[in-house]
Amino acid sequence: MFRVLKVGVLLSAFILLVACSPKLDWRTVQSPQERYSALFPGKPDKLERHIPYQDQELNQTLEAAKVDDDIYSIGTIQVPVNQAAVTEKIVVKLKSNLLDRAKASGGTVIEESTTYQTNNRQRLATTDYFITFNLNERAQQQMRVRWITRQSSNGDAMIYQVSVLHSNANGDSPKILLSQEEYANFFNEFYPE
């Protein structure tokens, strides 16, 4: 009798634990080479590659975690000292590639001024972009993205693209959907050096 009761209590506790487990497994990720820390909703995968720019290759790193219909990602491009003067041109190119693609699909782009916080707790201005991509008459993707540029003491620059891509969007406003707490945490807890 006692054994059956004990098994019943353990089974009930297990069921409650599983039922209460959130789908988001938030964890702080330190990326010293990319000079940031971030809060991801799952263990991110990391991809590194070289991208050509003006007869030179730049290092690009992408850390991303997929949770259901969402991809949370941070892309980093390291611009060496001898190319630091073209950092803003690179950012403009990144923005125009993404925003022009959204507009070409018949989608929308909403801009919102906001701030981010550095590792030393300094608040700086930035802009969030809430984007809708129309894939066909029924399917949409929505994205929230921000670009941040940080100059380091050694003269090189880091370009960060912090974004969440939501698939299977139902037509709601991307600004309303992607401002919810589960998405806002990802943006608010990104701290570049």
What confidence score (pLDDT) does residue 124 get? 96
Half-sphere exposure of 32 (CA within 13 A, CB side): 0
Residue 7 pLDDT > 70: no
Per cent of the chain over pLDDT 90 is: 62
* pLDDT at position 18: 37
Confidence check: pLDDT of 145 > 70:
yes
Answer whether residue 14 shows pLDDT above 90: no
Question: What percent of the chain clears pLDDT 70, i.e. is strictly above it?
Answer: 85
pTM (2 decimals)? 0.84
E strands, the chain, where? Answer: 27-31, 36-40, 45-53, 56-67, 70-79, 108-117, 123-134, 140-151, 157-166, 191-192
pLDDT at 19 over 60: no
**Least confident piece of the model among 9-18, 28-37, 136-145, 157-166:** 9-18
Under a CB-based contact definition with an 8 Å cutoff, are residues 112 and 175 in contact?
Answer: yes
The residue-averaged pLDDT of 184-191 equals 96
What is the greatest pairwise CA distance in the chain? 78
* pLDDT tens sequence across 84-129: 889 999 999 999 999 999 999 888 999 999 999 999 999 999 999 9
Report the pLDDT averaged over residues 11-38: 70
What pLDDT, on a 0 to 100 scale, did the predictor assign at position 2?
A: 40
The rounded distance, in Å, linking the Cα atoms of 122 and 57 is: 31
Residue 53: what pLDDT? 83
pLDDT at position 3: 44
Write down the pLDDT at residue 5. 40
Q: How far apart are the first and last CA of the chain?
A: 60
Distance separating alpha carbons of residues 114 and 91, to the nearest angstrom: 18
pLDDT at 172: 74
pLDDT over 70 at 75, yes or no: yes
Please, what is the average pLDDT of the chain? 86
